[in-house]
Amino acid sequence: MTAETCDIVFFNSQYDLVAARGRIWWAAVGRATDATTEVRSVPLAGGPVEVRPMPGAYALSAWPWLVSAASGQAGAVDLVNLDSGQRVHVPVTGTELISCSPAWCRSLVLSPSGGPARYDLVRPDGSQRVRVAGGTVSAAVQDVALLDRFEVVSQGGDAGPTGNQQLFVYDTRARRLVLVASGVATVLARGGLLWWSTGDNETAEWHALDLRTLR
């Protein structure tokens, strides 16, 4: 389709490449002195690449939103609507690390010692904060609240070729955390599908759950 991608950035998110309005969209690092994101797109049928510079460092999220590329780290998080220009500034305290989608933000609340104390979900405007779990769980996938409903977390070890994690899904509608599988290694999610591996490199098995089928 094009070789004119510039310095494209990937976050292992389902939104690294977005299909919308008959085009493929992606984010690239701008070449300006100040931090700039180039929102680039090309027609699905092929054609010239359009470039829209945006001051700041952003990643693509659910269309038509951008989210601060520093999500999950200390500091402010902002959402920008590419259609309307609306900006949402997410309130962040000095004791939490925030990652956001347009619908939900995950908040890792820190203890006085600086370690993780609590894992929450909260709306970008600061409302409807709910506790998902204690500080022993971590996000299993990059994207926050799949289908604007399911937060995927893991516990018990680092992802790797040998499964040693427990995989959970928190349902924001039912307000409960459900164990999906144990002995989990790699976890991925795209388009409402959650899949994970168990076993090691020689005996690996893959499993999938279609979150869209859950009521």
Q: Do 93 and 107 have their domain in common? A: yes
Q: Do 158 and 110 have their domain in common? A: no
Q: Each residue of 137-174: pLDDT tens digit?
A: 999 999 999 999 999 999 986 555 567 899 999 999 99
Task: Tell me the β-bridge partners of 5.
Answer: none
Q: Do 117 and 143 have their domain in common? A: no
pLDDT for residue 183 is more than 80: yes
Helix (H, G, I), strand (E, B) or coil at 212: helix
- pLDDT for the residue numbered 158: 58
Average pLDDT over residues 188-213: 93
Q: Do 140 and 125 have their domain in common? A: no
Cis amide leading into 161 (omega within 30): no
Q: Do 72 and 50 have their domain in common? A: no
Cis amide leading into 53 (omega within 30): no
Answer with the one of 116, 135, 154 that is the final residue of a domain: 135
pLDDT for residue 34 is more than 90: no
Average pLDDT over residues 6-32: 94
Name the percent of the chain lying above pLDDT 90.
Answer: 79
Answer with the one of 135, 151, 169 that is the final residue of a domain: 135
Q: How far apart are CA 146 and CA 148, in angstroms?
A: 5
Q: Do 2 and 29 have their domain in common? A: yes
Q: Do 83 and 54 have their domain in common? A: no
Q: Do 121 and 149 have their domain in common? A: no
pTM for this one?
A: 0.90
Q: Do 107 and 166 have their domain in common? A: no
- pLDDT for the residue numbered 163: 73
pLDDT for residue 78 is more than 80: yes
pLDDT for residue 91 is more than 90: no
Q: Each residue of 157-166: pLDDT tens digit?
A: 655 556 789 9
Task: Tell me the β-bridge partners of 60.
Answer: 66
Q: Do 107 and 84 have their domain in common? A: yes
Average pLDDT over residues 27-56: 92
Q: Where are the alpha helices (DSSP H) in 158-203?
A: none
Average pLDDT over residues 82-97: 92
Q: Do 8 and 52 have their domain in common? A: yes
pLDDT for residue 75 is more than 80: no
Q: What is the mean pLDDT of the chain?
A: 92
Q: Please tell me the total count of domains within the chain.
A: 3
Helix (H, G, I), strand (E, B) or coil at 104: coil
Range of the domain at 54: 1-60
Q: Do 142 and 206 have their domain in common? A: yes
- pLDDT for the residue numbered 157: 67
pLDDT for residue 131 is more than 90: yes
Residues 6+ apart with CB under 8 A from 165: 140, 154, 155, 156, 157, 158, 159, 182, 183, 184, 185, 187
For residue 67, how many other CB atoms are within 10 A of its CB?
A: 27
Answer with the one of 9, 33, 60 that is the final residue of a domain: 60
